[in-house]
Chain A
């Protein structure tokens, strides 16, 4: 007689009445395939852990967001926020779809140029732009978004030196009813700084004010805040028109739309509570359409959405290393990835699915990473079927910020694979090796040998 498949014995307290605080049952349905490619085969070919990006999902999210905006407002342009995920293959999916580039450092600026984005379609944000970077951006006719007065004066000086008329916007911060207010970037609206900056730029007449920019925050759960921001920028544009007879060509509302992740401590799952693209589009377009523009002078609406367009396209595959029982009786499972590569575990309760079939018995579990550090917690509590060493898991909605904010701490960063629209897999970033890191190091001669 052949033996039955084995499952670890488990016992789970039943909480009658209240919803289990560890989440609902649907959370742990097994996910054996991503875009019809099996998790097993991905891990056996590319190793574990492994980041996987679905090109289909990016294209679908982009088409959803553009439909929401273009059906409500006549002129919309997206600019891919490089910092959210600057794998070149990912950037190029967005550029193929028509996105410009939005960058916040010289490194990102050059990455966008190398990807082939024309300089005039690169938006250069951020408080730290060196003279060399500004010079390059001015020569390339890029859209320079000014963060502070020191930068404004420096650009005016460079414009004179280079005998060019740089295209600029100012970044405006403002009260949109959201706290804490992001007032460290740009010029404030309420206290008149923004209006002062506009006056300085136009009266100096050395640089060309083409746009107004605001990025009111990230993971913004209130569409109405965007309505307020759009109205305030439109108001500045209107006064610029009245006083100087100058049209502002574009209004850039930055990024910040929420993705479908679940913020830590929130009771509702992100997939249920995050506003839709239609909600954001409705608030923004209503504010802009109601502003004081003539039909010919409707500004271009630029959006720099990051996480909402890539989070759901990213998956992290990993493997169970071991199980342990904690002193309070909870099960803990150690995985082969931690906060080193899943940085967003600090912000979100990521949805995690087993990658193989299970019975319907479950246990409350803490998920730890492999780093020798207390902060290395992937999920503080999650209901999962019993998993044994070698079992595989899929972490969902990890496309934003992880592949740019990951840390190289005691281990090496893993492979990243893209599944194209035909289901074909492509390695888009090779895992690091000891050589990758050692090639950056230099050994002083007197330390090059030792005897033990």
Chain B
């Protein structure tokens, strides 16, 4: 299932100008929207910013938390789709790449 997260399915580049604080506060200057996220969400966003690969992210989370692979995969998929919806991940930058 992990292979579903291919480039065609999901762009995973966080907008360059997104501000992320250590407490999970996120600000998107292009839209003026602010968000809050929980510690796992923050960790994933940080890794996305560092352009970690999906495989690296998966390993990190599975090693650190009490969660099985299938559950995390489902939640990760859902979370990334929310990052799209909130425009924290941008469609435009994908095209430019």
Which A residues are within 8 Å of any B CB, using their own CB?
Answer: 3-14, 16, 323, 325, 329, 359, 361, 386, 388
Closest Cβ of chain B to A354, distance in Å, is 15
Question: Quick check: A11 and B83 within 8 Å, CB to CB?
Answer: yes
Question: Quick check: B37 and A13 within 8 Å, CB to CB?
Answer: no
Question: Quick check: A4 and B64 within 8 Å, CB to CB?
Answer: yes
Q: Of the candidates B35, B71, B81, B82, which one forms a contact with A388 in the assembled complex, judged by CB atoms under 8 Å apart?
A: B71
Question: Quick check: B40 and A7 within 8 Å, CB to CB?
Answer: yes
Question: Quick check: A12 and B64 within 8 Å, CB to CB?
Answer: no
Question: Quick check: A13 and B79 within 8 Å, CB to CB?
Answer: no
The B37-70 residues at the A interface (CB cut-off 8 A) are 37-41, 44, 63-67
Q: Of the candidates A9, A329, A359, which one forms a contact with B75 in the assembled complex, judged by CB atoms under 8 Å apart?
A: A9
Residues of B within 8 A of A5 (CB): 65-66
Q: Whose C-beta in chain A lies nearest to the C-beta of B44?
A: A9
Residues of A within 8 A of B67 (CB): 6
Residues of A within 8 A of B88 (CB): 11
CA distance A62 to B61 in the complex (A): 53
Closest Cβ of chain A to B4, distance in Å, is 15
Q: Of the candidates B78, B81, B86, which one forms a contact with A13 in the assembled complex, judged by CB atoms under 8 Å apart?
A: B86
Closest Cβ of chain B to A254, distance in Å, is 49
Question: Quick check: B37 and A14 within 8 Å, CB to CB?
Answer: no
Known pairs A8-B78, A11-B88, A361-B36 / 10 extra A-B pairs, C-beta < 8 Å: A6-B66, A6-B72, A7-B39, A11-B82, A11-B86, A14-B34, A14-B36, A323-B78, A329-B82, A359-B39
CA distance A14 to B34 in the complex (A): 6
Is B33 interfacial (CB-CB < 8 Å)? Answer: yes
Known: A11-B26, A11-B79. A3 touches B38 (CB 8 A): no
CA distance A5 to B66 in the complex (A): 5
Question: Quick check: A11 and B37 within 8 Å, CB to CB?
Answer: yes
Q: Of the candidates A3, A12, A16, A323, which one forms a contact with B66 in the assembled complex, judged by CB atoms under 8 Å apart?
A: A3
Question: Quick check: A6 and B40 within 8 Å, CB to CB?
Answer: yes
Residues of B within 8 A of A14 (CB): 34-36
Residues of B within 8 A of A359 (CB): 38-39
Known: A4-B64, A4-B66. A9 touches B35 (CB 8 A): no
Closest Cβ of chain B to A385, distance in Å, is 9
Can you sample 20 A-B contacts with CB below 8 Å? A6-B65, A6-B66, A6-B67, A6-B72, A8-B75, A9-B37, A9-B76, A10-B38, A10-B79, A10-B82, A11-B26, A11-B35, A11-B36, A11-B82, A13-B33, A13-B34, A323-B78, A359-B38, A361-B38, A361-B41
Chain B CB within 10 Å — which of A8, A9, A386 has the most? A9
Residues of B within 8 A of A388 (CB): 71
Is B8 interfacial (CB-CB < 8 Å)? Answer: no
Question: Quick check: B26 and A4 within 8 Å, CB to CB?
Answer: no
Question: Quick check: B71 and A13 within 8 Å, CB to CB?
Answer: no
Q: Whose C-beta in chain A lies nearest to the C-beta of B28?
A: A13
Residues of A within 8 A of B79 (CB): 8-11
Is B85 interfacial (CB-CB < 8 Å)? Answer: yes
Residues of A within 8 A of B26 (CB): 11
Question: Quick check: A4 and B82 within 8 Å, CB to CB?
Answer: no
Q: Whose C-beta in chain A lies nearest to the C-beta of B41?
A: A9
CA distance A123 to B59 in the complex (A): 70
Closest Cβ of chain A to B31, distance in Å, is 10
Question: Quick check: B78 and A325 within 8 Å, CB to CB?
Answer: yes
Closest Cβ of chain A to B41, distance in Å, is 4
